[in-house]
Structure 1
């Protein structure tokens, strides 16, 4: 693993707490945040599903709080639990959410949490709108940001009408981010090949379908780009990075399996302008798709929290988005520097099946460097090996499932597979 020797001077008296809601123990983003701040001497704590998650066994973790949640809990109960953790830590602590539920909870209950925790202050309803496919689509339309064409059917009759005029294939996604409280319409990003398939699926979506039907951007004519950023209280970027997603799992539809840092000033400007217009502050993980057919970048996702692959990105001063957030909220200056282009990020437990799937399809992003200047592994670190071995021990079942998904995807000709419970946010 390649790491920069540069290390910004942080306030070591302010701990960090990884906050997660839901069961996804194999989440490398939380491990990355624990290592990122822990290597600087910041005391790190984490909410974990049990005592033997990879994050719980990091050498850089000062303490774990075993708190299994499902995402179906009432918000007041979750806030009470966080405040109890804050009392046990005993001093103001930086909150680092790893999923939309946690990010929305913090924003909507900021007044209750402010005495015990540090976090960026944002309009209370904004993270929920950004996490919603419909909310994000409406924000893009309002601020002139391209996004895939989409409809939001209110009934089966609406879907029948759409099926008669739509250009297939199309993509179906859950309209809202928080589907754990009820049965989701679709298990994940689902490609639909024709009107008959759409109407057959829609019969199970109930009288008020909670789906978005979206234009399909063919992967042969598209490039997947990612932006990770931390925006300050004045909405200016404290750190902003751009990169290309080379492989994902499930193929072309899921979490990042391999990505590279690639300079893209146009995309950086687009992202910073959109964040400023909507008034966003804090850490964000954006997914863009460049559509070669019309030469435009189209925004697919705006996750109002750190992304699992954030450790791909670091500037020459040793700053990533998590370090930038800690520095700003503790009153420190965030050192500037160019992003370390050419770095590669690999998620060991999913990149092998992804590599096989992409080799079969023959797809490769044209902007990926032929050779990496350094590699950041999601799980393995020589100074912190236990999370990697714990991941391996817990991946036996998921690993077999990945291979079964790969075989099924091959039989279907590469159709996207849904993200399964337990794999967590990307």
Structure 2
């Protein structure tokens, strides 16, 4: 790797009034943001969190500060960050997205924000081909990467009359929206009546051009895989693959509950092809599902941000956050190998997932207990940073009540 700072379109020029990086500012996110704050904080890196959503990371002892804002889609987002850089001494800090809305905002605003911050993301003209699902799936088809069968409709009547193989899933073209459909992330429809109602509802919330309809790939979390990496200037510097052993809910996972590092060379090859097509730059996680009907990996989603099980990287000896920090300071970046078999667990939700699987005869209690010795990191708990783990359950209960049930 080069022994000087990267001068790319994705990072502010270190000579443009910046000295050494002032730290890292993470916008949004929850468990992934907490993982990054801990990873960097243990290295003595100042980490600041800005959020209009969950306060979970703010309880970490490794945060140097926390600020509330109106969110990335507010009209004053750029002005807020400009003022923050001055009042908190953060000029030259690296901005990292923790959520999907923050990804779009940072990529589209990089030129203006680079007067005060470093931004490690491609410009939106390239990044949108990874973030917006219709464009992502078009790019995948061009590159010969498998995707689940995807339906495209121009009207509600066309969708209602289409020849569809059920079950299907409905997804927003990109996450981060503040509406019921976007917050749900995925809606399943098992028959035409359910699909017609769900599709009409989704279109009414975000518009027909923003609703993606795909055949549901069968199988649970054991069929779902991920590629995680740090890329610099269009090339990978650290990467590994992982399998989502369990998820919650078990039939259609809203979130991972047990993830372990596995060797999947095919994932690496396909992911490199996809990311190179956009000259990618920054942290990234790509989700795939192996279709048990044909054994092929199908591309689902690209997350150019912190992700929920990100702490697994450091636990396995491939600290992506720490490597990112070395890179922006111009230090040589090694290519560490993640330890196969190291696992991450979201304990409370994983216990529920395991109980459901056990009741169906798909998981023996003894096999579940064998998961624990492999766990190298937890979603919220850390011995040197216990408070987030203690407040996660009541905080999650409150969010479910106020954001889902009451709404």
TM-score, normalisation: structure 1: 0.80
Compared CA separation, residues 313 and 115, structure 1 to 2 (3 A): same
Distance 1:351 1:157 in 2: 41
Compared CA separation, residues 195 and 392, structure 1 to 2 (3 A): closer
Q: CA deviation at 1:183?
A: 6.3
Aligned equivalent of 2:339: 340
Matches within 5 A, 1:152-191: 152-162=152-162, 165-180=163-178, 184=181, 187-191=184-188
Aligned equivalent of 1:73: 74
Matches within 5 A, 1:378-393: 378-393=379-394
Q: Bigger CA drift: 297-306 or 191-200?
A: 191-200
Distance 1:261 1:113 in 2: 36
Q: CA deviation at 1:245?
A: 0.1
Q: Tell me, yes or no, if structure 1 residue 258 matches structure 2 residue 258.
A: yes
Q: Tell me, yes or no, if structure 1 residue 320 matches structure 2 residue 328.
A: no
Aligned equivalent of 1:302: 302
Indicate the structure whose relative CO is greater, using CA pairs within 8 Å and at least 6 residues apart.
Answer: 1
Match of 1:61 among 55, 60, 63: 63
Distance 1:15 1:221 in 2: 36
Deviations 1:365-397 (A, max 9, x none): xxx996544421111111111111222342344
Distance 1:253 1:97 in 2: 23
Distance 1:358 1:86 in 2: 48
Distance 2:185 2:66 in 1: 30
Q: Is the 8 A contact 2:222 2:243 kept in 1?
A: no
Q: Is the 8 A contact 2:152 2:212 kept in 1?
A: yes
What secondary structure does 2:64 align onto? strand
Flag as ranges the 4+ runs of structure 1 deviating above 6 A.
Answer: none
Aligned equivalent of 1:406: none
Deviations 1:148-167 (A, max 9, x none): 110121211211231xx211
Q: CA deviation at 1:350?
A: 2.2
Unpaired runs of at least 5, structure 2: 1-18
Q: Tell me, yes or no, if structure 1 residue 269 matches structure 2 residue 272.
A: no
Aligned equivalent of 1:358: 357
Q: Is the 8 A contact 2:21 2:92 kept in 1?
A: no
Q: CA deviation at 1:218?
A: 1.0
Matches within 5 A, 1:137-152: 137-152=137-152
Q: Is the 8 A contact 1:248 1:257 kept in 2?
A: yes
Structure with a larger share of its residues in helix:
2
Q: CA deviation at 1:109?
A: 1.1
Q: CA deviation at 1:12?
A: 8.3
Unpaired runs of at least 5, structure 1: 1-10, 402-418
Compared CA separation, residues 192 and 266, structure 1 to 2 (3 A): same
Aligned equivalent of 2:236: 237
What secondary structure does 1:261 align onto? strand
Compared CA separation, residues 48 and 183, structure 1 to 2 (3 A): closer
RMSD between superposed Cα atoms in Å: 3.0
